[in-house]
Each structure stands twice: as structure tokens, then as C-alpha cells.
Amino acid sequence: MDAAWLVPAALAFGLAVGIGASAAVVAAHSRGQRAAAVVHPTVPDGVEEVIDALETAGIVLDSSNNVLTCSTAAVALGLVWNHAIVHPELVALVDRVRIEGSAANEELQLPRGPFGDAQVHLLVRAAPLGSRFVLVLADDRTEAHRLEDVRRDFVANISHELKTPIGAIGLLAEALESAADEPDEVQRFAHRLTIESDRLRSLTHEIIELSRLQAADALEHAGRVSVDSVVAQAVDANRVAAESHRITIVAQTSPEAVVWGDEAMLVTAVHNLVANAIQYSPDGTRVGVGVSRRDGAIEIAVTDQGVGIPDAERDRVFERFFRVDSARSRQTGGTGLGLSIVKHVVQNHGGDVRVWSQQGRGSTFTIRLPEAAPAAATTPRGARS
């Protein structure tokens, strides 16, 4: 071969080899990118921003059910841990969506975490996101379920509580009819009939009152309220009951104590505390009502010298229809709503109510309410004082 052709041939061969090698490198790089995309998939554009903006739990899963991204709520509810969804029920729902290729909804009750018995009620919706991903959205319905349970229990308790006085009234009416020719018996049954009807009236009134307190506009007609006036009205309403058992009510007031709220509601709350103190106090003892101002708060404390509240029952005394052991009470047949009404009145006024008690030494219930600003500070601009 002519030496003149060797150089061009070598150049051509080298160029071909270079092109082939470059093509092989590019192909290998492309395969590597595709493999990396399979091993480390990325979330479609904009999805992460949407997940971050969600108040509900949101999760995006890849084809292997690895969590690519999730919202804070998903972690807080215990649905995601270590880049994986925790509950097999969620995995089963996601797998069903992949097989069927369409969105699915399901209500699930799941453990909130690995410890304890806390449960969360979730409405879960899973849907395909493109061809490889699945989007899971979980709406926390735990509070709605809790409120439904409370409503159901409330209705059941009302039915039970109403059954007693209604049944008693029916039996007493029959007894009156059969004792028509015996004046003494008629008088005795009529007295019992009056007691049961009063009990029924009181229960109905307190149920209505509790329902009103739970309304959004419970403080629609609020204004400046003198706490001294509230205490005076509550004490006067309980004076006869106290005297019938030789119980002395001692009130220590504070003329400067003023709160913002509904006077009638506040009188009801303090009245219930005083009545409760009288009910659980032995004859011949004393009930104290004190008012004080402290750090921008008004405190109303009602103290008795009664039997006290057992430790196991102290956290439950504000529950609807809960009663301390009736053997400790002089009266039977209280509604069990009085302290629950106190709690709701105080909460509606932005305050709280606390209880201290020691068996054999008595109890103290303390209402704390925000102190009202001076009158000048609350006068609307342009109004005449």
C-alpha cells in the first residue's frame, strides 16, 4: 500500500473509534440516568409545593411504595416513618389503586403511634399520580368521631335521667288515685309528686341551659359585670337551703372586681358552686365565698367543710351527669349537670375553673376570669361616657 494512504486511513480509523467510544459513553450515561430515575425517582413538578401547603396529611409514593414526599400532618399522625408508610391498611389501599388504576376512598381507624391505645379516624383517598406514583390524602376525622360519641352519650344519659322522675311521677299519680279516700296518704303522695316534678323541671332547665352555653353566640349581650353583685345574688339564692341545714355562708368580696361578660350566666355558675358546697357539707358547718384580684385576673373561690372528693373522681367532676358517690350526698337525684354548666360558663368568658379537695377536709372550687379593662378604656371612640 502506498505510504501516502496510511495517514488518512489511520485518521479515519481513529475518528471512527472515537465516535464509537463517545456513543458508547453517551448510551451508558443515558442508561445510568434511567436506572437512577428508577432507583431514585423524583416527584413531578409542583407536587411538593402542593403537599407542603396541605393542612391534611398528604403522601406521594413511588412504584415500590417508598415515600418521596409527605406533609407535616402525615408525620404528626404517625402515618410515615423512615420514608415508608407505617400501616398495612394504607399499603393495601395503595396496592388496590395500582391494580385498578383508579382512585379509591376508605375510612380507617388506625393506631396513632407504637405506644398506648390512642386511635385516629381517617378518611383516606388514594389516586394514581401519573403512571408511576400514587398520591394519598388523609383527612383527620378523630374530633368529629369524638363529638359524635359525646352526642350519643349525652342523649343516652338524658334518656336515663329523664326516665327516673317521669317513672316516679307516673307511679305517684297511680298511688294518688288509689288513695283518694285517705287524706293523709294523698298529702304524702302529693308532696312526693311535687318533689319529682321539681326535679324534672330542674333537669329540663339545666339541659336547655347547657345547650345554650354551647352556642356560638352565648355571650351575645355581654357587658361590664360587678363580681360583688354576682356573688350576692348567688348567695341569696342559696340562703334558705343553707339555713335549713344550719350552714353559714360567709362572703368576702372586692368592690373593684369587674369582669366582662353575661351577668346572668355568671350568677348561675357561682350559684351552682355554692349549692354544690351546701349539698356536700355536714349540718352546722360553714361555706365560704371569696373574691380576689390577682395579676389581671378575678378569682372567685367557694370553699366547704364537706367530705371532699376522692382522687380518682377529681378529674371527672366537670363531666356531664357525673356525680360523686351519692352516699356522700345529703340529697339524691341531683342532675349531675351543675359543674358542667360552671365549666362552660367560665370557658365562654375566657377563664378556667379549678378544684382542690382533700377527703375529710372539704373542697375549694376556684373560678378565674380576666379582669375587665377600666371603663374609659372600653368606651367606643366618639361615644358619650
Contact 371, 259 (CB under 8 A): yes
Query: Reduced to 3 states, what is the DSSP secondary structure of residue 249?
Result: strand
Per-residue pLDDT tens for 1-49? 555 565 566 566 566 656 665 555 555 445 544 443 444 456 666 667 7
pLDDT for position 204: 66
More confident residue, 186 or 114: 186
Name the nearest CA neighbour of 286 among 337, 336, 249. Answer: 249
Span 49-65, average pLDDT: 83
pLDDT above 80 (res 87): yes
pLDDT for position 268: 87
> What domains does the chain contain, in order, with CATH numbers?
47-140 (3.30.450.20), 142-213 (1.10.287.130), 222-375 (3.30.565.10)
More confident residue, 1 or 349: 349
Contact 195, 169 (CB under 8 A): no
pLDDT for position 226: 93
pTM over 0.95: no
pLDDT for position 130: 82
Span 262-272, average pLDDT: 89
pLDDT above 60 (res 150): yes
Give the pLDDT band (50/70/90) at residue 91: very high
Name the nearest CA neighbour of 60 among 100, 38, 46. Answer: 46
pLDDT for position 330: 39
Q: By mean pLDDT, which of 50-54, 175-179, 200-204 is the weakest?
A: 200-204
More confident residue, 11 or 348: 348
pLDDT for position 256: 86
DSSP-H helix ranges across 40-141: 47-53, 72-76, 88-100
Contact 110, 119 (CB under 8 A): yes
C-alpha distances (whole Å) from 283 to each of 91, 235, 316, 336 are 66, 17, 26, 22
**Which distant-in-sequence residues (6+ apart) come within 8 Å of 320 by Cβ?**
154, 157, 210, 336, 337, 340
User: Residue 309 corresponds to which amino acid?
Assistant: I
Query: Reduced to 3 states, what is the DSSP secondary structure of residue 285?
Result: coil
Q: What backbone phi and psi angles, to 5 degrees, belong to 363?
A: -140, 155
Q: List strand residue ranges (DSSP E) for 36-187, in order.
A: 57-61, 67-70, 80-81, 84-85, 104-111, 119-129, 133-140
Per-residue pLDDT tens for 269-327? 998 899 889 988 899 999 999 999 988 889 999 999 888 888 767 676 776 555 555 44
Give the pLDDT band (50/70/90) at residue 196: low
pLDDT above 60 (res 72): yes
Alpha-carbon gap, residue 111 to 231, rounded angstroms: 48
pLDDT for position 288: 94
Span 51-79, average pLDDT: 85
Per-residue pLDDT tens for 213-252? 555 455 667 789 999 999 999 999 899 889 989 999 999 9
Alpha-carbon gap, residue 89 to 77, rounded angstroms: 15
User: Residue 214 corresponds to which amino acid?
Assistant: Q
pLDDT for position 331: 47
Per-residue pLDDT tens for 181-194? 777 777 777 777 77
**227-243 and 263-279 helices, crossing angle to 10°:** 30
pLDDT for position 45: 63
What b/e string do you get for 208-228 counting C-beta neighbours within 10 Å, with b at 16 or more?
Answer: ebbeebeeeebbeeeeebbbb
Per-residue pLDDT tens for 100-113? 999 999 999 988 76
Query: Reduced to 3 states, what is the DSSP secondary structure of residue 222?
Result: coil
Q: By mean pLDDT, which of 66-80, 127-141, 179-193, 331-345 is the weakest?
A: 331-345
In this structure, what DSSP letter does residue 382 have? T
